[in-house]
Amino acid sequence: MLSRVFQAYGHVCAAHPWEVIVGTITLTSCLMSMSLFTGHDKICGWNYVCSREEVPHGPENIFLTVARCAAVLYIYIQFRNLRKSGSNYLLGIAGMFTIFSSFVFSSAVVNLIQADVSGLKDALPVFLLLVDIKKASALAKLALSSKSEMEIKDHIAQGMSLIGPTMTLDAVVETLVIALGTLSGIRQVEITSNFAWLSVVTNYLAFMTFYPACLALILELSRDGHGGTPMWYFHQKFAKVLQEEEEKKPNPVIQSIKVIMSAGLVLVHAHSRWGGEPSEGILSDGLSQLDLDTLGLQQEVTPDQSLWQFYLLSALQMDTDHVIMLALAAFLTVKYIYFDYDLDTQINLINNKVSPRPEGEDCTMGISTSTKEVEDDVISTATKSRHASFIIGDDDSSSESEKESKETQTELNDLFKPLTLRASSPPRDLEECKEILNSDEGPDELTDEEIMLLVKDKHIPSYKLENILGDYKRGVAIRRKLVSRTLASASAFKNIPYDNYQYKYVDGACCENVIGYIPVPVGVAGPLLLNNRQYQVPMATTEGALVASTNRGCRALSMSNGVSSVVIGDSMTRAPVVRLPDACKASQLKRWLDIPQNFEKVKESFDSTSRFCRLQKIQTCQAGRTVYLRFIALTGDAMGMNMVSKGSERALRVLHKQFPDMETMSVSGNYCTDKKASAINWIEGRGKSVVCEATIPASVVQSILKTNVQSLVDLNISKNLIGSAMAGSVGGFNAHAANVVAALFIATGQDPAQTVTSANCITLMEAVGKDRGDLYISCTMPSIEVGTVGGGTILPPQAACLQMLGLHGASDTSPGQNAAELASVICATVLAGELSLMSALAAGHLVKSHLKHNRSQLNVIPSLPTVKEDQSSSERTKITR
């Protein structure tokens, strides 16, 4: 319960960093302002001559010096321990930031309550010893394992849920214990105790408010130019960091003891402060009247310098113990920066059993000679290094410009550069590798050869490499090397690029067992004039002449007042198949769903699964004792298959309550129908149903399309209508709609397999106008399955193609509008392609255009003659569609 409260509180602080920071600073400023207006104006040494404090001598001075040096040494040790977490400075600075902010807040509170600060310099070492920067560093470590803005908030909230309850209890216990010192009657102890318990409280408040907000804000502002990974991303999997922090949770028994101790201390304070009359000469703040008289201001004088000069000179007048403390701090700082790094390197070398290697030596030793000779064609020699690299976000030496260039399209040489793996020595034995993998160091301390050894032993599933390593690129590289050893041709990976790709968008969404990516040429056709708006249409294809032909169709349409479109249907479907004991029970289910009140019950359950998915109707079909339930729903700007599937499962629960003997055989019974040619999609529609039309003047038909209207009309009847009917086609009454649909689907991140149903199209042509000299053309496509959110649309290149059309993401005004407009663009582009191809066929230009645009000269056998323009028509017909 308490953890959930702190988690929610942490999420609020991380989600609203500006509000929290401004509020905290404002409160601190108010406290300091109140102390200026309400505090006394008597300042010893400036405008008043006070009785001099007793200067510590002998053992007391030595004790204070040792305490101050111990505090400095404590901070150094804290930084030293944090280096083991993989950060030289960042995590330590995060902790020191908490100390600094806590000190500022403590000073404001001390000034406000006008506490005695005459011995405050002796209390400062106590302040440093009380503050444990490990908690602040642990929260920073969790936050630095975030790769996105949402992860930053969630990880900080998770960290607060782990650290918050423990830190709250510790703060209560520390405050109550330290506050006992204010009852001692010893002036110096009381001063120190007062400042110490105030420091604990303010440190707790700073950690719970100011610190998480600053952490979230800094990481959010440090994200890269694309709004992705923060600049200081800590390359360690969040689950592992979270597990480490959970393992550090204190024993519940100890926590219970702390609670009991706190209750007892509260009783002690209550009895001591309010249970009886205060002892003689002791005031409520714990100081005797005699001490106050001794400390009283005795003589007012006229200051000879400004207040800020007085404070500056006071700060510069250092005693011997201060000089010793600063010298120790300077020495430890130099040691940490310049000497500890080499020591850590030596320790890593010993732990990894990797000895320094000459610069020119091959680092792939340990791989068998026969294997290495084969792999050299695919995998370059591993990077030459003196030790196995341990990559942490803090140590990334790449400049910001280099990082940005790596995330954008690069030259061909960069995309196809050979695979580079980490340096490796002869791998350690399997058991030792398992221990390292499960230790705090994790996979970053293992070489690639050792990771492959664990994969072969089934200790690491190959498909989980990226998640376990916490490094997408390294996971892909190791998988490529593993697979390359099993291929018939070792050079197969040579031209499959893997570098410079944002695999974080692929993981868990688009592909598994990733070994790289396939670049596909993207052309543009246009401008396409649709509904009085121009579009530049991206088309990803490897078929020559397709983009050129579609572009010609777009030109003809633009010269003919463009295309008009209308969306006549919008519904995604999913059809579970259920079975009942007999046909009678099956018919009862069918009739039950036909009753409007019952449909509303199912709809309520269905719609509860999504903000956008809304059930429209249920189409039922019975075969014996089997019933097919075709759920038809609106899905906003998403293609919607997952939405409708989720809603269908929830709706089936309602049906199970009404028909307990109903058996759900599958959430998909092929009555949907998805990714298969079917008459039901052609007749009833699925996805977006769109009609596009245009009228082409006779002059444009003759000048641009190089044919005439009557030839086009006759050819369309003979080819697209009669020919397709003779072939028994379902939805294939067109010339090549699938060509355009597939090219647009690949470019815009749609599911290419849904081209099967999305390309359903009937193309109609008529002679219209004066003397029937103009051409009317229409394309009707009843099942275009597209979306502008989800699926492959999250990949940056595909998202960029949607941005070309102005249709990326969800519509700001009307849910579903962007997806419907994309379907209209696809249908209009199909119309342009149909117009151009049919004209080429009517004019006899098809073969000639393909010889020009769709015949590769790279793979032609040298002994065969190239095709020439004067070839006979019989030779040309060898090249067919």
Angle between helices 320-334 and 59-83 (to 10 degrees): 20
**What are the start-end ranges of the E strands in 635-717?**
663-666, 687-696
How far is residue 77 from each of residues 152, 322, 340, measured CA to CA in Å? 28, 20, 12
Angle 367-369-371 from CA coordinates, rounded to 5°: 70
In which element (H, E) is residue 527 found? Answer: strand 522-530
CA–CA dist 616, 634 (Å, integer): 7
Torsion region of 56: left, alpha or beta (phi above 0 gives left; psi -120 to 50 gives alpha):
beta
Question: 41 Cβ partners below 8 Å, 6+ apart?
Answer: 47
CA–CA dist 107, 117 (Å, integer): 10
CA–CA dist 67, 65 (Å, integer): 5
CA–CA dist 618, 639 (Å, integer): 19
Tokens of 15: 């989600």
Annotated catalytic residues are: 543, 675, 751, 850
HEC string of 216-280 equals HHHHHHCECCCCCCECCCCCCCHHHHHHHHHHCCCCHHHHHHHHHHHHHHHHHHHHHHHCCCCCC
**Any long-range contacts for 425-434 (C-beta under 8 Å, 24+ apart)?**
425/352, 425/353, 425/354, 425/355, 425/363, 425/365, 425/366, 425/388, 426/365, 426/366, 427/366, 427/453, 428/353, 430/454, 430/457, 434/459
Residue reference for tokens 């340990």: 366
Residue reference for tokens 């500006």: 18
Q: Which of 299, 280, 96, 131 is nearest to 202 (CA)?
A: 131
> Counting runs of H as helices and runs of E as strands, what totals does the chain give?
36, 13
How far is residue 790 from each of residues 740, 786, 801, 871, measured CA to CA in Å? 22, 10, 15, 50
- For residues 647 and 610, the answer to whether their CB atoms sit within 8 Å is yes
Tokens of 10: 């942490």
CA–CA dist 549, 704 (Å, integer): 11
